[in-house]
Amino acid sequence: MCGIAGQARPGGAMVAAQTIAAMCAAQEHRGPDQRGLHLDGGVGLGIQRLRIIDLATGDQPVGNEDGTVTVVLNGEIYNYAELRRELAGRGHRLATQSDTEVIAHLYEELGVECLTRLHGMFAFALWDSRRRRLLLARDRIGKKPLFYSLRGGVLSFASELPALLQDPEVPREVDPQSIDAYLTYGYVPAPRSIFRDVAKLPPAHRLVYEDGATTIERYWRLDYAAKRRFADERELHEEIRASLRAAVARRMVADVPVGAFLSGGIDSSAVVAAMAEQSSRPVRTFSIGFADERFDELPRARLVAERFATEHHELVVEPDAVAMLPKLVRHYGEPFGDHSALPCFYLSQLAREHVTVALNGDGGDESFAGYQRYSSNLLAARLEALPAALREGIGSAAAALRPPADPRALRSRVQRFAGRLAGERRHRYLDQVSVFGAGERAGLYTPQFAAQVAPSGSAEVMLEPWREASGDELLDQLLEVDATVYLPGDLLTKIDVATMAFSLEARSPLLDHELMELAASLPPNQKARGAQRKIALRGALRGWLPDAVLDGPKRGFELPVDRWLRGELAPFAREVLLDRESTERGWLRREGVESLLDRHLAGEDHGRRLWALLTLELWARSATDRAAPAPEAVAA
């Protein structure tokens, strides 16, 4: 795992070495073991390396035999040994045992189509000096990030936004449409970034730059249209287990200590089970818990740790949000409103004390239908048979009721469900996953700011991939949209930044693209049916995992943000959101924000919304009011 950076200029103009070095230094936490630079006429590449594979000879940049192809890689190529043997058989001479070098030689064979042969998580930059071509590429699912800025034929890129901003030529004009998207989703979805002149390369895309001209193409996507049928359910379960075992085995290859995050949920428990089966020594597992029992999963994590005799480490924390929030903001580099990033930081810090690589359970919900919102949308679709006037009446009645204080309460969930019944499917789902709905955002914005935002622009982030979805059935469309938008925009961003803050590499077996292709090929009723979710995955794991894990209620990595914002965090939030620095920014109406704070204190639940506003304002102070600092080492 590493941080990469670079710049390309048209006409062979030289790139300043100090610019590349500054971009590398700003992300040294991603790779503290080695810094490497490569300068050629028209290009500069930089790398901060975290040594995972080939500790002795695998430093970067690395290239082919005659130095005409040079690569810097952030991530891991899991099938590198297989590719290395194949390339050696074709006459290539490889000087290292690293996975990065394989990319250079594979590019010699296949050009930009080399991406189709790579199995792993990656963002890399490859310079072809013969063709004067720079290739930037991001892995299929979007596990590794890549920001870039293109202006006047000059291209700059980096793994993190604060690193990219060390290039003094990159403009810092905030994009109002990106703020609107952030307040819709809680993150800024690709290809946008919070700055107008900075973009994210989307997952499964490559960017080719040749002397100022740029093309961006998608090279892979999941297919939910082609379905497989299994005559015997046992055959399906065995294939899922075999695919999971293979995905885990690929991700256990390392020359440094490897462990696993263990939440006590189905997905991380399945990963630990497969690791224990294939490991010659006890698996190191890491869990964190909370004093508030509503959010504590340590008892189930212990069940799994005992079942598989792991070397288990756990930590009970009472997060200090006031102290940690500014540090989170600096590391994410742009507004990021998922408050579960906070426990991810604590968990990453705990794991890094013992290992350099940690496997996790990310991706199981998006592939095998684990979220409750999938079931509620399937039910809502069945109720579309009711007359429209009746559904509208139910929605109006639900809206007139005062919502319970606890958003997790059954009455609260039923009320929200009833309020969405009259909506069209796509807009119903958009409303369900939004932090602020369109009307709520409009009520917050100043007239001047509202005039800069396209009313339907943020909705298109989700509606466009829905229109392009390959599947015909509702559940497949929901899963494809989440895999395209929510998974890379929120979950993978969260885990990448949190782990890299501590120089820890995170690997996600359930995001193995072959396993995801298998899940996409399953008929929807084998993933969710009625109130049942993860049907095929649970069946495959039955007897392997404890029943208490398989049948227990799903808990997200949540925190009592609603309680904090009525207690210890309330004065801080009010001070930050209502002081002159915030109100004179001209984005949000003071009275709208003050009303939200007051209503939350009075018992309504606006914890998620206030956290998003607080993160936005702290980001603005860090990144736009002053020179953007490089993220400091995190001390929780």
Q: Active-site residue numbers? A: 2
Hey, what are 328's tokens?
């989170």
Calpha distance 67→510 (Å, rounded):
37
Helix (H) or strand (E) holding 149: strand 147-151
Hey, what are 177's tokens?
């449409």
Residues near 560 by beta carbon (within 8 Å), at least 6 away in sequence: 290, 292, 294, 295
287 neighbors 398 (Cβ within 8 angstroms): no
Calpha distance 261→279 (Å, rounded):
16
Closest CA to 161 of 202, 206, 199: 199
Helix (H) or strand (E) holding 62: strand 62-63
Calpha distance 125→566 (Å, rounded):
47
Calpha distance 56→60 (Å, rounded):
11
605 neighbors 561 (Cβ within 8 angstroms): no
Calpha distance 1→123 (Å, rounded):
10
DSSP state letter for 70? E
CA dist 445 → 182, 372, 586, 605 (Å):
13, 32, 8, 21
Cα Rg of the chain (Å, integer): 24
End-to-end CA distance of the chain: 22
Calpha distance 136→118 (Å, rounded):
14
Calpha distance 118→110 (Å, rounded):
12
633 neighbors 29 (Cβ within 8 angstroms): yes
Q: Is 351 left (phi over 0), alpha (psi -120 to 50) or beta?
A: alpha
Amino acid identity of residue 216, one-letter, is I
Calpha distance 132→150 (Å, rounded):
17
Residues near 98 by beta carbon (within 8 Å), at least 6 away in sequence: 53, 54, 57, 58, 60, 62, 80
> Using DSSP, how many helices (H) and how many strands (E) does the chain show?
28, 19
Calpha distance 347→8 (Å, rounded):
38
Calpha distance 295→288 (Å, rounded):
10
Polymer length of the chain: 636
Amino acid identity of residue 576, one-letter, is V
- Angle formed by the axes of helices 570-578 and 607-623, nearest 10°: 50
Q: What share of the chain is helix, strand, coil (3-state, %, to 5)?
A: 45, 15, 35
